[in-house]
């Protein structure tokens, strides 16, 4: 027998299914990493997410496009039990024969990635990126073109079989710059007050929904510090009102510094995600330096967030999710150099020490 608790927010229904044991024991419905969750009618089979990560040293097919190496990479992580796979930052526009999602030629391997992930029971989304552009220099015509590229790219991703899209509003890149009041110096309707800094998404949200249909998940990856947690909370509340289905909290223009409470067993970025969750009813993904089963269980069982995204950990061990759920030892990511920036997947993934011993 199952118990279903339901959050209702406008048109989004999220069911969390808890086993009867916890209810009979008199606990509030404690969610576990192995529990499924349903967003926009799509079942995500557990709370483990592979966050978007560009595979810098992969070889694409036909020049720079996605190809067999990518298909194999994502298929292995689906086979490895990952609940939700978010395919790496994929440009919404660019030159011919580049990796992206704007032309028919680019679609075949993307369709295969979606199909293969589904065949192993993973839900799969695509991160959509507007690159690395100084938004203070953009004309309004250029912004409008970028907006229509974002809508078209979402439609293509869904046509290719993806369950949803995640807009890349993080890590100091283009869309993140709109949101951050310290970077955004525009003095037109895209700069200044929060409403203006959010205008990029606000203006296209309805068209995105029309383009992708009612069943696609529309997510935003954003910073938990824009420029601080209080600023980010204002943004997430507004994003929720716009109809975003899922929030993925990383960092904004800069990685946050600061202590977390002694009992909190994760990074400052994850802590910011847990603070943000208190202010929204849509599900929240936390990310950054979640390497162990203990950390993932801590976050989900204590309801700090709804999903634990494990980046380098799932690079290092494609079976991370299955092993954690089966309580088996994982092949540990070494956190090379003690910083994400030192990860060898930025330069040559074949040198990843965790992979070498397998
Ligand atoms: C090689 C590499 C590529 C990355 N590519 C992306 C990307 O495409 N989009 C994005 O939003 N974040 C990207 N990230 C950041 C990761 O999604 C994640 O937030 C980060 O690695 C922290 O999580 P971890 O400590 O579990 O690895 C990348 C990180 C690495 C190491
Ligand atoms: S290169 Fe190092 S930090 Fe990157 S995934 Fe491999 S073990 Fe982890």
**Residue 223 in tokens:** 């910073």
List Cβ neighbours of 59 (8 Å cut-off, separation of 6 or more).
Answer: 67, 69
pLDDT < 70 regions, the chain: 1-28, 62-64, 357-358
Question: In the prediction, which pLDDT does 5 show?
Answer: 40
Beta strands at 284-287 and 246-250: parallel, antiparallel or unpaired: parallel
In this structure, the residues whose C-beta lies within 6 A of any atom of ligand 1 are 51-54, 88-89, 127, 168, 170-171, 221, 250, 287-290, 310-313, 340, 343, 345-346
Q: Please name the residue whose Cα sits nearest to atom 5 of ligand 2.
A: 312
Compute the C-alpha angle 46/48/54, nearest 5°. 140
Query: Which secondary-structure segment (H or E) carries 143?
Result: helix 140-159
List Cβ neighbours of 85 (8 Å cut-off, separation of 6 or more).
Answer: 49, 50, 74, 77, 78, 117, 122, 123, 124, 125
List Cβ neighbours of 98 (8 Å cut-off, separation of 6 or more).
Answer: 63, 64, 65, 91
Question: In the prediction, which pLDDT does 6 show?
Answer: 42
Question: In the prediction, which pLDDT does 291 show?
Answer: 97
Of residues 173, 190, 304, 315, which has the active-site annotation?
173
- How far is the centre of ligand 1, averaged over its atoms, from the C-alpha of 158 (Å)? 23
Question: In the prediction, which pLDDT does 27 show?
Answer: 53
Question: In the prediction, which pLDDT does 63 show?
Answer: 65
Helix (H, G, I), strand (E, B) or coil at 356: helix
Question: In the prediction, which pLDDT does 65 show?
Answer: 79
Whether residue 50 has its Cβ less than 6 Å from ligand 2: no
Please say if 173 is a catalytic residue.
yes
- How far is the centre of ligand 1, averaged over its atoms, from the C-alpha of 29 (Å)? 32
- Whose CA is closest to 126, among 94, 154, 159? 154
Helices and strands in the chain, H and E counts: 13, 12
| Length of the chain measured in residues | 358
Q: Please name the residue whose Cα sits nearest to atom 2 of ligand 2.
A: 336
DSSP for 276-344, please give it: HHTT-SS-EEEESS--SHHHHHHHHHTTS-SEEE-SHHHHH-TTHHHHHHTTPPP-----GGGSGGG-G
Question: In the prediction, which pLDDT does 258 show?
Answer: 85
Nearest atom within ligand 2 for CA of residue 353: 7
pLDDT in tens, 250-283: 999 999 988 899 999 999 999 999 999 999 999 9
Ligand 1: which of 50, 52, 343 to mutate, judged by most atoms within 8 Å of the beta carbon?
A: 52
Helix (H, G, I), strand (E, B) or coil at 26: coil
- How far is the centre of ligand 2, averaged over its atoms, from the C-alpha of 292 (Å)? 14
CATH architecture of 47-356: Alpha-Beta Barrel (3.20)
Q: Please name the residue whose Cα sits nearest to atom 23 of ligand 1.
A: 288
For a pLDDT cut of 70, what percent of the chain falls above it? 91
């Amino acid at each position: 027998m199952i118990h279903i608790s339901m959050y209702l927010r406008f048109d989004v229904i999220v069911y969390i299914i808890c086993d009867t044991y916890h209810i009979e024991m008199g606990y509030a419905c404690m969610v576990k990493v192995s529990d499924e969750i349903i967003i926009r009618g799509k079942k995500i089979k557990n709370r483990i997410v592979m966050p978007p990560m560009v595979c810098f040293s992969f070889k694409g097919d036909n020049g720079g496009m996605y190809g067999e190496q990518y298909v194999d990479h994502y298929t292995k992580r689906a086979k490895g039990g990952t609940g939700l796979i978010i395919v790496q930052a994929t440009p919404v526009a660019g030159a011919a024969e580049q990796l992206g999602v704007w032309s028919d030629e680019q679609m075949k391997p993307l369709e295969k990635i979606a199909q293969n992930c589904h065949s192993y029971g993973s839900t799969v989304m695509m991160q959509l990126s507007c690159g690395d552009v100084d938004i203070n220099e953009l004309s309004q015509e250029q912004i409008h073109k970028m907006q229509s590229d974002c809508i078209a790219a979402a439609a293509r991703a869904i046509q290719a079989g993806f369950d949803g899209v995640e807009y890349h509003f993080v890590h100091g890149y283009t869309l993140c710059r709109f949101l951050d009041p310290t970077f955004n110096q525009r003095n037109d309707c895209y700069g200044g007050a929060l409403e203006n800094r959010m205008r990029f998404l606000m203006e296209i949200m309805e068209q995105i929904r029309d383009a992708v249909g009612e069943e696609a998940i529309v997510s935003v990856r954003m910073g938990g510090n824009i420029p601080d947690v209080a600023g980010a909370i204002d943004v997430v509340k507004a994003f929720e009102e716009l109809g975003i289905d899922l929030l993925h909290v990383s960092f904004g223009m800069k990685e946050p510094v600061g202590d977390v409470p002694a009992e909190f067993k994760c990074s400052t970025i994850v802590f910011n995600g847990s603070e943000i969750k208190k202010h929204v009813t849509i599900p929240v993904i936390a990310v950054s330096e979640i390497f162990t089963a203990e950390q993932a269980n801590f976050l989900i069982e204590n309801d700090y967030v709804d999903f634990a995204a494990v980046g380098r950990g799932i690079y290092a061990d494609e079976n991370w999710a299955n092993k954690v759920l089966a309580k088996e030892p994982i092949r540990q990511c070494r956190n090379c150099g003690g910083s994400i920036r030192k990860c060898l997947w930025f330069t040559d993934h074949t040198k990843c020490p965790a992979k070498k011993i397998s």
